[in-house]
Structure 1
């Protein structure tokens, strides 16, 4: 197993330290929000940038471009004194991503610990690779959908303009990298599972 441990470094140590730092920062932020004025832990994103309705030029010139260039103006709607519903929507825009990040690091940490302890080419490693792959694949889609729907609902509370109509579709963007990474992990899980089966057969013969 020492060879497997060497192969998995420095990833094992980096993931373990990063997970602990992230959890510590979340706990510290929560405690500070309870006792320190001005600290709003978990408040979320209360601003929506309407980049699909941007304009340029016009009579509004806060910045002067050089000849041959133009400045684009993108409206950004923010809640100055958010209501409870707006605060909930703001949290829904950011909290799912935090949960996915922490959960993904936790699953990866468990996967690496198991691989160090039992070896890379085992059925347990393949199973945890599969879980991590589905977490990234489905989780990224859920996170993006939740954030875009919450953003669209939040924008509807900030303006009556037509830009708020079906805004969630404009805010949604496909998480290509996370989806491809999840699919890659599922593929590697099948490969590791096949190699684990072959290893068991060889051990039985020997």
Structure 2
């Protein structure tokens, strides 16, 4: 297994270190936020990227042949706890997806170094990580886009929480989905390699 362990470096060490750093920074951030009085403090702001105006805002002159467009950004100073919770949901799912994916990736590397790369267990761990990224990326984006639409509807009189406003905030996570599909493909390749290896060992 020492050869398999060498093949996984330096990525295995990098993932392990990054996971510890991210968890540490997140823990410090949570402690500091609680010490400051929780999450129900400060302004809640949202940008309505679906709306805009061709009228140039004052103070932003453009070069000849260029135009300046203005996009509304709504901010609420005195907001209730529910709006602050919605504001947290505009970014929290992606953060949780990042940390959990790093955990699964670190588990994959540790298991591959211990059990071997070309094994059924490694293929299974690859498959779990692939499905987690594929489904988790879509679910996280759906939650965040709904939260953004809800925040916008709470701060803008002209906006309501509808399917159209949600779709305007939705950004398909192409990279995460493609990465998940790629991991599922590698899981099948690894599984086939593990089966071939077992057959060869049986013949020998």
TM-score normalized by the length of structure 2: 0.92
SS, match of residue 63 in structure 1: coil
Q: Which runs of 5+ in 1 are unaligned?
A: none
* Whole-Å separation in 1 of the counterparts to 2:43 and 2:111: 37
* Whole-Å separation in 2 of the counterparts to 1:101 and 1:135: 11
Q: CA deviation at 1:178?
A: 0.5
- Which residue in 2 is equivalent to 1:27? 27
Kept in 1: contact 2:40–2:84 (CA 8 A) = no
Kept in 2: contact 1:43–1:90 (CA 8 A) = no
SS, match of residue 168 in structure 2: helix
Kept in 2: contact 1:136–1:179 (CA 8 A) = yes
SS, match of residue 142 in structure 1: helix
CA RMSD in angstroms comes to 2.1
1:58-137 correspondence runs (5 A) = 58=56, 60-137=57-134
* Whole-Å separation in 1 of the counterparts to 2:111 and 2:10: 15
Q: 1:187 aligns with which of 172, 185, 188?
A: 185
1:135-146 correspondence runs (5 A) = 135-146=132-143
**1:168 and 2:166 matched:** yes
SS, match of residue 77 in structure 1: strand
Q: Which runs of 5+ in 2 are unaligned?
A: none
Paired residues, what number? 203
